[in-house]
A and B are shown apart, each in its own frame.
Chain A
């Protein structure tokens, strides 16, 4: 009889191909429980006095980049946190303020143990003795799943550092790292003056390893199956898989996992394909940019490719705009909504977003006045990089891409005060806020 070493007996083989993050998940409605999870993943190590540089090196070799939108090399962030001097703290950012994205919620609701393992491994790697997992107050399923998961671990007598699950106010900017840290420190979920960056001085003044939910999930799998396995999918510069939220004019909107570098058309086909011809695609959610039909047909889901098209993956949210919709009107709706989501702390953001959204709305509605286009271009340039966070930058970027991609529509609107899509139903969904709360 062959003796199976204790550490291997409960862990299964590495996932081959796709899915990876969702490999253990059979049922859309239920979270994967601890027993099922432990059949594929071993118990994370406890943090020691000093950081685990071997774990950080593995993340570096894997080339993991943040999945929250910044695509920053995770290992670099981890090393910076260990140089902070004080004992670090770890924050899992599941705030997901971007309306077009639902991957973080889904991951926390269906794979809470994968997320928690990733956080605990990250904590051991940087030497953090405290973990905070954040999700929006409205993400009830995610919050519940996390609470239940922690309870299961306690029942199973697993040892781990204190884990706190915190509900965040539902605001677009609440997931911005300085806003999240400010909220965790007792303030409002509004961005604060930077420097210092949170990896230097964050929660309770300690160096804070703050990353997206999905990043931690990948971190757990890298530690389990190694950097070479991680690099089997994806590109050299951007290895691994990513979760994309596809919505808009697709028959099966939702979250799907794909290797980075997958053609955008494949991602759309995966979501069931479109009902009408594609007019444009919004990449990166409302914080992202528009791609025209030609670009969309040729683009791949990677920052390297999208940057050459003046775009970027962002948080991986994709919204398909059908031929019958008006891109200007949709953009105007989004900008108006974004102007109500501003923290209201910086003049250029408050005034700029207001001016941009009202002018674009007027243009889309056919109320033309001379100089509108010049104003839009000028204001977009004026608000760029003049806020405390990059929220106005995102709005400016979205507007500029709309002016470029929908240039034909602009001419139509200017000349005929309308376009053929005036009667179309809105495509981009905007969350209704019952009230504005920052705490």
Chain B
């Protein structure tokens, strides 16, 4: 089962904890807001993704099912 990590841009406040916890997929832009790599997440990275999601102070991150054939954007 593969998932995509998505951020709610309205809830997101640019705190930056997600990027500290999940640097493999989350980078910060010039203003401290997350840029999320759209490559689907599976297996080994799931625990890191879930930690980042739980640690977000405003719960702006979520996981969505990756549609079949989802590739790196």
Taking Cβ atoms with an 8 Å cutoff, the residues of A that contact B are 192-193, 345-349, 351-352, 355, 378-379, 382, 386-388
Contact = CB atoms under 8 A, between A and B. Distances in A.
Contact of B9 (A347, A355, A379): A347
Interface residues of B, number: 13
Given A351-B30, A355-B30, A382-B29, A346 B35 contact: no
A347 B33 contact: yes
Contacts of B33: 347-348, 351, 386
Interface in B16-40: 29-33, 35
B35 A347 contact: no
Contacts of A382: 29-30, 35
A192 B9 CA distance: 10
Contacts of B30: 351, 355, 378-379, 382
B12 interface: yes
A413 B32 CA distance: 31
Nearest to A347: B33
B10 A193 contact: yes
Given A351-B30, A382-B29, A192 B35 contact: no
A388 B11 CA distance: 10
A388 B31 CA distance: 17
B42 interface: no
A346 B31 contact: no
Interface of B: 8-14, 29-33, 35
B29 A348 contact: yes
A326 B15 CA distance: 40
Nearest to A379: B30
A348 B10 contact: no
A185 B65 CA distance: 29
A371 to B, nearest CB: 13
Q: Which of B10, B11, B12, B32 has the most CB of A within 10 A?
A: B10
**Shortest Cβ-Cβ A-B pairs, 3 listed:** A351-B31, A346-B9, A347-B33
13 contacts: A345-B9, A346-B9, A346-B12, A347-B9, A347-B14, A347-B31, A351-B31, A355-B30, A379-B30, A382-B29, A386-B9, A386-B35, A388-B9
A387 B33 CA distance: 11
A347 B11 CA distance: 10
A388 B30 CA distance: 19
Contacts of B12: 346-347
B31 to A, nearest CB: 4
A348 B60 CA distance: 15
Nearest to B14: A347
A382 B33 CA distance: 10
A348 B31 CA distance: 7
Contacts of A349: 9
Nearest to A190: B10
Contacts of B14: 347
Given A351-B30, A355-B30, A193 B13 contact: no
Nearest to A383: B29
Contacts of A387: 9
A97 B56 CA distance: 35
A346 B32 CA distance: 12
Q: Which of B8, B9, B14 has the most CB of A within 10 A?
A: B9
B35 A388 contact: no
Q: Which of A346, A349, A387, A388 has the most CB of B within 10 A?
A: A346
A306 to B, nearest CB: 25
Given A192-B10, A347-B12, A349-B9, 11 more contacts: A193-B11, A345-B9, A348-B9, A348-B31, A348-B33, A351-B33, A352-B31, A382-B29, A382-B35, A386-B33, A388-B10
